[in-house]
Amino acid sequence: MKRILALVSLLTIAAACATQPSGNKDMTANTGSAMKSTAAAPSESDIIAKEKAGWDAFKKKDADAFGKLMTADYVEVLDRGVTDKAQSIADMKDFDLTDVSYSDWKMTPIDKDAVLLTYKVTVKGKYKGEDIPQGPYYEASAYVNRNGEWLAIYYQETLSAKMPPPPPAKKESSSPATAPAKPAETGADPIANEKIVWDLFKAKNWDGFASLLVPEFVEVEATGVYDRAGSVKGVQEMDASQFELSDWKSLAFDNDAKLVTYTVTMKMPKPMKEYHATIWINRDGKWRGFYHQGTPEAAPTGPAKPEMKKM
Regarding whether 44 and 154 lie in a shared domain, the answer is yes
Same domain, 89 and 211: no
CB 76, CB 311: distance < 8 Å:
yes
Is 286 part of any domain?
yes
Do 213 and 126 fall into the same domain? no
Is 72 within a domain? yes
Instruction: Give phi and psi for 75, each to the nearest 5.
Output: -135, 160
Q: Are residues 14 and 154 in the same domain?
A: yes
pLDDT digits (tens, 9 = 90+) for 45-87: 999 999 999 999 999 999 999 999 999 999 999 988 999 988 8
Q: Is 145 in the same domain as 207?
A: no
Taking a C-beta distance cutoff of 8 angstroms, is the pair 88, 19 a contact?
yes
Nearest partner of 290 among 233, 179, 235, 213, judged by Cα: 213
Residues 131 and 220 in one domain: no
SS3 label, residue 190: helix
CA 27 to chain centre: 24
Top-confidence residue, 1 or 264: 264
Q: Where are the alpha helices (DSSP H) in the chain?
A: 31-35, 44-59, 63-67, 85-91, 190-202, 206-210, 228-235
Mean pLDDT of 262-274: 88
Domain that holds residue 231: 190-296
**What is the domain count for the chain?**
2
Is 167 within a domain? no
Q: Indicate the burial class of 125 (C-beta count within 10 angstroms; 0-12, 13-18, 19 or more).
A: middle
**Can you give the pLDDT at residue 269?**
73
Q: Is the same domain home to 134 and 222?
A: no
CA distances from 175 to 5, 168, 171, 227, 251 (A): 30, 20, 12, 33, 43
CA dist 154 and 76 (Å) reads: 5
At 90, is the pLDDT very low, low, confident or very high (cuts 50, 70, 90)? Answer: confident
Spatial separation of the C-alpha atoms in residues 19 and 159, rounded to whole Å: 12
More confident residue, 226 or 93: 226
Helix intervals (H) in 76-189: 85-91
Residue 307 lies inside a defined structural domain of this protein: no
For residues 62 and 117, state if they share a domain. yes
Indicate which CATH number applies to the domain containing 280: 3.10.450.50
Residue 309 in domain: no
Least Cα distance to 264 among 245, 282, 247 occurs for 245
pTM for this prediction: 0.82
Do 67 and 117 lie in a common domain?
Answer: yes
Q: Are residues 143 and 205 in the same domain?
A: no
Is the same domain home to 72 and 210?
no
Q: Has residue 182 been placed in a domain? A: no
Residue 165 resides in a domain: no
Looking at the structure, tell me whether residues 132 and 225 fall in a common domain.
no
Q: Does residue 178 form part of some domain?
A: no
Query: Can you give the pLDDT at residue 11?
Result: 35
